[in-house]
A and B are shown apart, each in its own frame.
Chain A
Amino acid sequence: MRTKVVRHTLRGAGLVCAAALALTACSSNSSSDSGSDGGAVSASALDAALNKGGTITVWAWEPTLKKVVTDFEAKYPKVHVNLVNAGTGDKQYTALQNAVQAGRGAPDVAQIEYYALGQFALGKSLQDLSKYGASSLSKQYSPGPWNSVSLNGGVYALPMDSGPMALFYNKKVFDKYKLKVPTTWDEYVSDAQKLHAANPKAYITNDAGDAGFTTSMIWQAGGHPYTVNGTKVSVDFGDAGSKKFAGTWQKLLSDKLVAPITSWSDQWYKGLGDGTIATLAIGAWMPANLSSGVPSASGDWRVAPLPQWQKGQTASSENGGSSLAVMKSSTKQDLAYGFLKFANAGAGVQDRIKGGAFPATVADLNSPTFLNTPFPYFGGQKANQVFSASAKNAVTGWQYLPFQVYANSIFNDTVGKAYVSKTTLSSGLKSWQDASVKYGSEQGFTTGK
């Protein structure tokens, strides 16, 4: 299936190349075709490129981009955007990696999650956007996402959305079994026990071993397992935050209180719809996915702040969230950056908010219209207030590995054992740590614990 997608994309890219050839053949100005680093590109040059037109390919799975593309093409009628869904998350990274390695078939623009940016930037697959003056946009974005796109003194992407975590819960299920919305993780565990006892088919949540979820939970618990300083990398899942998470989550796993269903599977959507998965601790980008993936449960779900590790606190973390980056191999980087700016710093942001996406732009996060938007899916709840507060309360200082994509790919080899055998979560995390450190030193990093 995956090969099929790639093949389609390759064919698409071939068409794009043909179109590009045709265009260059009939134009004398070739500034928009430079693939090199070149000097600074002025705003007027960017406008000129956009007005001249051309075709760019965008790899993204974010559903709200469809509307953005329509509006972008309406504003710049000569630019055609070929929006391709080459898979979600690591499936797309695999395809992207393939294309980069092969030297062709890569898109001009790619959606890349914050955790994966380091790996692609370090692998020199992405164009540093400083030459377009992207650094001046820093004040437009909330600090977390901006921090994630500024790497090694460059700007390698523009933040598209952010994923401050919140607790999504099925109110119908909570009302039916008279559960209280948990404010601490201990209450969460006791809700899990009550729910599963009352209905053995129902679970408080699903978890089949998800690296992104685990790291976000440790982040909220105040853990700093990854320390990255240039090429010095250390991994330590023995710190207090990691231990807090592992201890609590182990209770849920040992008593089989979480459904062993992989996220984004058919079973998952089914469970979210029929109430057998009662909560999700996940990023604020989830509403769009819920309303498109589980339309039948409209009105059942609500949003609450993330349960706390210590009663009365308001700590939070980011889960996922992604950016749009310009590929270094692109021959139409000016057009590509024009699209980025439109989608992530221009009119596209509003399109995406309307579609249910969660912005990374400060102005929108604080705007009364945004904060007071009722969500029909959540029974009219003004959910953005919860998300916005979460965005401000994200624990600072979290870092991902510069090879987090690889580390996440071996998560199920190591920590995954805790989900299907007697291995404990903490010993699973220890083997994950060892394997990550081993890979890091093989890749030339100075590693430690």
Chain B
Amino acid sequence: MTITSPPAAGRAAPPRRRNRTGLAGWGFIGPFLAVFALVFLAPIGYSIYLSLFQDRLIGGTTFVGLDHYRQAFEDAQFWSGFGRVALFLAVQVPVMLGIALLVALALDSGRLYGKNFFRITVFLPYAVPAVVATLMWGFLYGSRFGLVGDINRTFGVSLPDPLSPGLILASIGNIVTWEFVGYNMLIFYSALRVIPASLYEAAEIDGAGQWRVITAIKLPAIRGALVIATIFSIIGTFQLFNEPSILKSLAPNAITTYYTPNVYTYSLSFAGQQQNYAATVAIVMGVITMIVAYAFQLRGMRKEA
């Protein structure tokens, strides 16, 4: 839908009035801009400023220009953390969104008994704070006193330790999936609810089956929601922090101080007193996240067009 503006030539507005409109506009947007600058632009600007300096235990603060950025690009620890979240993104996000989509479609199909109960149950984990959820799962994963340990003892089996270095990423993936399936399901479900019923009626008249309805009507209609949910997940994955940093106390040898880029920034600045380099890593990671999310958005929207 486009709004056609009246041709300007027809009625030439007095220039004075136009100026006043402009000023009034700034007045309305001013409070927003002030807050935006304070909480958004200023911290980013300060981080960039920080990243150009180096504060050393011996020698104090010196200006180092772009040295930290050069260092970040050659930093094996940073890139190993990045590789880990990239792998996480490639595996966990599709699984999580797939499950969320299935659940949303099932709820929307109208064939489910106790729909409201089911919906709230799936959504409930999202209401559990991430810290609590991780602690809870950490105890379940415990191979000594946790659920895994109990299963091992009761059935005399020896399940692989979910907190071992080889499995811990999958274990984290499981926690994150558990936490966020409900949230994504709700996004998809609400998008499905606004599809006009007349489309379904038309499909029924044309003799389309459920599968056909899903692929030809429902999925195209919620593509926007899919794109948004994916972008949220990309950002969330690149910022993975809570789960690994809490599980670290249970599995200190499996989760390194550079396990994900965010964990790395945290340990750089708080254990290593390298706030400046930490700011650099944060900026680099922010830019990468922006690029990936934007690229995905462009791609997603092009398909829609």
Contacts and interface: CB of A to CB of B under 8 A. Distances in A.
B252 A90 contact: no
A419 B145 CA distance: 19
A94 B270 contact: yes
Nearest to B255: A412
Given A421-B165, A439-B272, A265 B56 contact: no
A94 B271 contact: yes
A270 B57 contact: no
A265 B249 contact: yes
A123 B144 contact: no
A140 interface: no
Interface residues of A toward B: which range? 35 or more
Nearest to B58: A444
Contact of B256 (A270, A413, A445): A413
Contacts of B252: 208-209, 262, 412, 416
Contact of A443 (B58, B256, B257): B58
Nearest to B143: A260
B297 interface: no
A262 B250 contact: yes
Contact of A265 (B250, B254, B257, B267): B250
Among B145, B254, B257, B270, residue most surrounded by chain A Cβ atoms (within 10 Å):
B270
Contact of B271 (A101, A265, A405): A405
B236 interface: no
B61 to A, nearest CB: 11
Interface string B114-154: 00000000000000000100000000001011000000000
Contacts of B271: 90, 94, 405-406, 409-410
Given A1-B131, A265-B250, A420 B165 contact: yes
Interface string A262-287: 10011100100000000000000000
B59 interface: yes
Given A123-B57, A209-B252, A439-B272, A409 B257 contact: yes
B174 interface: no
B258 to A, nearest CB: 7
A402 B253 contact: no
Contacts of B58: 231, 443-445
A417 B253 contact: yes
B249 A262 contact: yes
Interface residues of B, number: 25
A90 B131 CA distance: 20
Contacts of A17: none
Contacts of B165: 420-421
A403 interface: yes
Nearest to B77: A413
A296 interface: no
Interface string A414-430: 00110111000000000
B158 interface: no
Contacts of B272: 406, 409, 439
B273 interface: yes
A17 B237 CA distance: 40
B258 A413 contact: yes
Interface of B: 56-59, 131, 142, 144-145, 164-165, 249-250, 252-254, 256-258, 267, 270-275
Interface of A: 1, 90, 94, 97-98, 101, 119, 122-123, 208-209, 231, 261-262, 265-267, 270, 402-403, 405-406, 409-410, 412-413, 416-417, 419-421, 439, 442-445
Given A97-B270, A262-B250, A443-B58, 6 more contacts: A1-B131, A262-B249, A265-B250, A410-B257, A420-B164, A443-B57
Report the 4 A-B pairs with minimum CB-CB distance, sorted nearest first: A444-B58, A416-B253, A409-B271, A444-B56
30 contacts: A1-B131, A94-B270, A97-B273, A123-B273, A209-B253, A231-B58, A265-B249, A266-B145, A267-B144, A270-B145, A402-B57, A403-B57, A406-B271, A406-B272, A409-B271, A410-B257, A410-B267, A410-B271, A412-B253, A412-B256, A413-B256, A420-B164, A420-B165, A420-B254, A421-B165, A442-B56, A442-B274, A443-B56, A443-B58, A445-B57
